[in-house]
Chains A and B, each alone.
Chain A
Amino acid sequence: MLWNVRLPRVVLALLVGASLGCAGALMQGVFGNPLAEPGVIGISAGAAVGAVAAIGLGLSFLGNWTITACAFVAGLVTVSAVYLLSRNGGKTEVVTLILTGIAVNAFAGALIGLFVFFADSGQVNQITFWQLGSLAQATWPKVLAVLPCAVAGLLVAPFYARRLDLLSLGERPARHLGVDVERLRLALILVVALLTAAAVAVAGVITFVGLLVPHLLRMANGPGHRFLVPGSALAGAVVLVAGDLAARTLAQPAELPLGVLTALIGSPFFFWLLRRTRRKQGGWA
């Protein structure tokens, strides 16, 4: 019981939390915008389309890794699209980013709806449960299915920390300081897609962890990415283990979906963040 039910769940929570926290920190750095987050701007939803497609179409060409692989490809397409659509002159305005997120989320939602519509009832159950975001179905094979993606992303991410610091000066100044900005951007988009896919493939869409965690760390210890990137991974892991514990115990014997819980806590925080950003900028226009 402990080995086969509890432990894979804890390991999965650690992996998913670390991936989401780290992906959030990286994305905020790449977009040069503290409001970027895989869930908010639609990367998670995009990855979810890939995963749902794999379930709905009954794909299994890569065995256990099929859902993760599909989530990765779809996530990669989405993050590239959002990046291209929301940037202008090397910067991403908050409004553009959020609006792009709305559009991407809506489109991804429509695609997921289509798959649900054409799926049989067994698949529908699987999809809806997974859509709420949960770790309840954790098993060792699931851990194995996302482990390579998550570990690869987490190991590579810290190497970009220094360059992310420089990128916060803007693209041109970063280039003046020797950063190959195009390559950095490409590499980080790949890493973000890897991490998001790892999280989404097993746990569904769990929002706001990637937003909340880097923010709190930045407030506590400054914005340096050499601390922020690994720190967000660690703190994300801790937050998600705690969140999963809460989801399991708060409404016992029933279990709250983890994604619902993080959204309940994360949305007000996001709202506060939006207000604060607007106040600082003196409006959006």
Chain B
Amino acid sequence: MTRTTAATTRTTTRTTTLTRPPTPTRTPTGPLTRLFTRGRRTVPSRPAPGAALAEAVDLHVRLGQHEVLAGIRLTARAGEVLALVGPNGAGKSTLLGALAADLPATSGEVRVDGRPVGDWSAPDLALRRSVLPQSAALSFPFPVEDVVRMGRAPWAGTPFADADEEAVATAMAAAEVTAFAARPFSALSGGERARVALARVLAQRAPLLLLDEPTAALDLRHQELVLRICRERAAAGDAVVVVLHDLGLAAAYADRAAVLHGGRIAADGPPAEVFEDALLSRVYRQPVEVLPHPRTGAPLVVPVRTPDGAPNHAPNHAPNHTSAHTSDGPGIPDVTPI
């Protein structure tokens, strides 16, 4: 409920800021673009709800000798949070990199805003998608506010540059970095840097957000904050693709989750459907159980743990009967393992 209200207010503020000077004309069919003379860039209009902003079509990516992605078919739609989950090395970051046009497809295709990524120029692409890298680095000690303002660079010379200050302030407030706006980036902790990088990405205001493990360095409060921001952006009409390790977060906040396993998509759908014991236990090679939250009913993903901490080796599909034992009394299994 609260989610919807937050989303609605967000939508209205965004629309007012974005449709200021030259109101981009809309047509019922897909995103219409408007030409601005300077820099031969085409400023995108707001995407229609449900429009495919990024698509991977039979995507194969090879890094060295290793085929990291083998036949990925995936669509990120406007208005949707799509979580990419899966074990280490499953190809999540590679997939995100391919969608971001960082990595070339060995075969197949990646389309952004309806066109193959290779057809967009770098400045054009920067108006359409923003990318949060896994680790935030900076060669020189720029102050935080300047780093966030770098996110506005793609809009320089367009009428939307008028919104720069407002976009920077809003993004910094959303990522809770306003308090250290004047401090040099190099003086921040890992979690603070991660939030500054996120603020930069938010300030870019691209309709497609690609976030690679945005919660990795963050404390509990800020993990929730980041995913609430993802929801808000999706509610405002953006497409958010986010790589997550925490399946609980993915279950709670994503509209859709794609489980990657060995360079393929093992499952793709709403978390409540995709996150089930057998699949996750097999993919992660770790028995897990999925329980409904006692109050909200949202799926909770918990590894099966033995009381003395001994590893539980049941790689293939033990979870079904294991969970039968443990799900009766939370945390107190009735059978003592050997």
A residues sitting closer than 8 Å to B (CB atoms) are 29, 32-34, 162, 165-170, 172-173, 175-181, 218, 222-224
Contact = CB atoms under 8 A, between A and B. Distances in A.
B123 interface: yes
B142 A165 contact: yes
B166 interface: no
A169 B147 CA distance: 8
B100 A176 contact: yes
A173 B151 CA distance: 10
Interface residues of B, number: 29
Contacts of A33: 139
B131 interface: yes
B143 A176 contact: no
B137 interface: yes
A178 B123 contact: yes
Q: Which 6 A-B pairs have the closest CB atoms?
A: A178-B126, A223-B140, A32-B139, A178-B123, A168-B139, A176-B131
B102 interface: yes
A166 B148 CA distance: 11
A169 B150 contact: yes
B131 A222 contact: no
Contacts of A29: 139
Given A177-B154, A178-B126, A172 B102 contact: yes
A218 B133 CA distance: 26
Contact of B142 (A175, A181, A223): A223
Given A173-B133, A222-B141, 7 more contacts: A162-B153, A165-B142, A168-B139, A172-B131, A178-B125, A218-B140, A223-B141
A170 B133 contact: yes
B250 to A, nearest CB: 24
A181 B125 CA distance: 14
Contacts of B122: 175, 178-181
Contacts of A177: 126, 150-151, 153-154, 204
Contacts of B338: none
A42 B100 CA distance: 36
Contacts of B126: 176-178
A220 to B, nearest CB: 13
A29 B204 CA distance: 23
Nearest to A179: B122
B121 interface: yes
B156 A162 contact: yes
26 contacts: A34-B139, A34-B140, A165-B142, A166-B153, A167-B139, A172-B100, A172-B102, A173-B133, A175-B101, A175-B122, A176-B126, A176-B129, A176-B130, A176-B131, A177-B150, A177-B151, A178-B122, A178-B124, A178-B153, A180-B123, A181-B122, A222-B142, A222-B146, A223-B140, A223-B142, A224-B146
B82 interface: no
A173 B138 CA distance: 10
A17 B126 CA distance: 37
Nearest to B97: A172
B127 interface: yes
